[in-house]
Amino acid sequence: MDDHITITKFEPKKKQGLIVIITGNGKGKTTSAMGMALRGCGHGLKTTIVQFMKGDFYSGEWDGVKKLAPMVKLYHTGKGFCGIEGNPYPHSEHRKNAQEAIQLITTILSTNDCDTLILDEINNALHLKLVDLDQVKNILALRPKHMHIILTGRDAHPELIELADTVSEVREIKHAYRKEIEPQPGIDF
C-alpha cells in the first residue's frame, strides 16, 4: 500500500438494517450476496447464510465460507434445484426442507446472532411454492432493525420488491453454457 494514501473509514450517523433483493435471470446473484458477506466480515459484521435450493451438488462457497468462520456461517438446507436438472426429489420433499429452513431462520432471528442474514434462492423457493409469501413477509417483519437481509434468486415477488430498500437485477447477456461449455469450478459453483 502506498504510504501517501490516507484511507478514511466511513461510519453512518444512523445504522439501519436494509432489505436487499438480488434477482434476475443472469449469473451472479449468490456471488453478489457472498461478496456482501465478505465485505461485512471486513467490517466485523457477522453473516449467516441459509441456502434454500442448493444442497445436492457441491459448491465452492461451502468450503470458502468455512475460512471466514466464525464471522460467516452457512446452512445449506435444500435438496437441490426443485424440478430441474434431473433432481430426483418430489416437490413435497423440497417443500418440507424449505419449511425446515423457515424454522431455522425464525431461530436465527430470535437469537439475534448476526448482522446480515442471506436467504439464498428464497425468491425461487417462493416462486415454486416451497415457502409462502406470508412466511417471507413475516421474516422481514421479525428482523431486528439493525439486521440486513439479502434475498437472492430469480423471480422476486413484486410485494417483496416493494418492501425492499435496494433491488438489483442481474441480467444475462451471454452465458458459457449456451456454447455447451460445462460449469467451471470457482466460476459457476
Place of cell 478514511: 8
Place of cell 413435497: 92
Report the half-sphere exposure of 156 (CA within 13 A, side-chain side).
Answer: 27
Closest to 140 (Cα-Cα) out of 187, 98, 102: 102
Predicted TM-score of the model (pTM): 0.90
- Length of the chain measured in residues: 189
Closest to 84 (Cα-Cα) out of 108, 57, 48: 57
Percent over 90 (pLDDT), the chain: 68
Distance between alpha carbon 6 and the CA centroid of its chain, in Å?
34
Give the pLDDT band (50/70/90) at residue 5.
confident
Helices (H), 59-157: 61-66, 91-111, 122-127, 133-142
Report the half-sphere exposure of 4 (CA within 13 A, side-chain side).
Answer: 0
Q: Which residue has the higher pLDDT, 54 or 178?
A: 178
For range 22-47, the mean pLDDT: 96
> CB under 8 Å to 185, separation ≥6 — which residues?
60
What confidence score (pLDDT) does residue 36 get? 97
Closest to 137 (Cα-Cα) out of 101, 164, 111, 169: 164
Whole-angstrom Cα distance, residue 47 to residue 41?
A: 8
For residue 183, whether the previous peptide bond is cis, meaning omega lies within 30 degrees of 0, is: no
For range 18-43, the mean pLDDT: 96
What confidence score (pLDDT) does residue 81 get? 75
Name the strand (E) or helix (H) holding 32.
helix 29-42
What confidence score (pLDDT) does residue 2 get? 61
What confidence score (pLDDT) does residue 84 get? 66
- pLDDT tens across 81-139, in order? 766 667 778 889 889 999 999 999 999 999 999 999 999 999 999 999 999 999 999 99
Domains and CATH numbers, the chain: 19-171 (3.40.50.300)
Give the pLDDT band (50/70/90) at residue 149.
very high
What confidence score (pLDDT) does residue 186 get? 81
